[in-house]
Chain A
Amino acid sequence: KQEVTQIPAALSVPEGENLVLNCSFTDSAIYNLQWFRQDPGKGLTSLLLIQSSQREQTSGRLNASLDKSSGRSTLYIAASQPGDSATYLCAAHFGNEKLTFGTGTRLTIIP
C-alpha cells in the first residue's frame, strides 16, 4: 500500500531558528513529491515540487530534498519567522492519477 507519513504532528520553534520537517513514503517508485503549506481553514499553497530524478529544490528560505532509496523527503526552513506558522503537507505521486498526502505537521514559530 502506498502511504505517506509525517512526524511529528506538531512542532514549536523559536523565531530565527532553522528547522526541518520530515516526510516518509512507502514506495520508492515515486514520480514526484510536492510540499504544500495550509493556513487554518484555507486551501493549499504549493511550495516546492521535486521530480524523482532530482535530489533537491530550493525556493528562497526553503529547501526540499528527496531520497528515494530511503523513502524520505525533508523540508528545510531557514531563519524561521512567525509568518511561517502553518500546517505543512507533503504529497507523493506514485505514478497514478492522484496525490497521496501525509497528515501534515502543524508548525508554530514562537516570537
Chain B
Amino acid sequence: DAGVTQSPTHLIKTRGQQVTLRCSPISGHKSVSWYQQVLGQGPQFIFQYYEKEERGRGNFPDRFSARQFPNYSSELNVNALLLGDSALYLCASSFSRGNTEAFFGQGTRLTVV
C-alpha cells in the first residue's frame, strides 16, 4: 500500500505569491493534518481535517487555509507569502481524528525568496 504522498516535493516562490500544497492520505484514512517545520525545530500544527471538516487549527495567520476533498485528499493554501513561510510542510494521515497513530509524508520544501 502507498503511504502518505505529498506534492510537489520542492517549491520556490516569490514574496507575495500564493502556493498550494497537496496531500493524499493512506487508503482508508479519513483524517489529514498539516504541520510546518522550520529548520532545527519540531513540527508545528497548522490544521486538522476529518470527514471534510476542519477539526483543529493551530496558531497561524488567516493567510493559511486548507480543505479536504470527498476522497480525503487535502490541500494547504498559503497566500501573500512571506520569507518566514520558508519551511518543510508535512502532511499526516490517520485513520480517525484525535489520538490514533499518525503517519507522515515526505514533505514539501517551500522556499520563499
Q: Do A and B bind each other?
A: yes
Q: Does B27 contact A (CB under 8 A)?
A: no
Contacts of A91 in B (CB 8 A): 42-43, 102
Q: Which residues of A contact B105 (CB under 8 A)?
A: 43
A34–B102 touching, CB < 8 Å: yes
Interface residues on chain B, size class: 20 to 34
Cβ contact within 8 Å between B40 and A103: yes
**Chain B 55-92, CB within 8 Å of chain A: the 1/0 string?**
11010000000000000000000000000000010101
Bound form: Cα–Cα A80–B107 in Å: 27
Q: State whether the Cβ of B48 lies closer than 8 Å to any Cβ in chain A.
A: yes
A102 and B55 CA atoms in complex are apart in Å by 23
A61 within 8 A of B: no
Main secondary structure of the interface of A (DSSP, over half): strand
**A: interface residue count bin:** 20 to 34
- Given A95-B99, A96-B56, also A103-B104 (CB < 8 A): no
A positions within 8 Å CB-CB of B? 4, 31-32, 34, 36, 41-46, 49, 89, 91, 93, 95-104
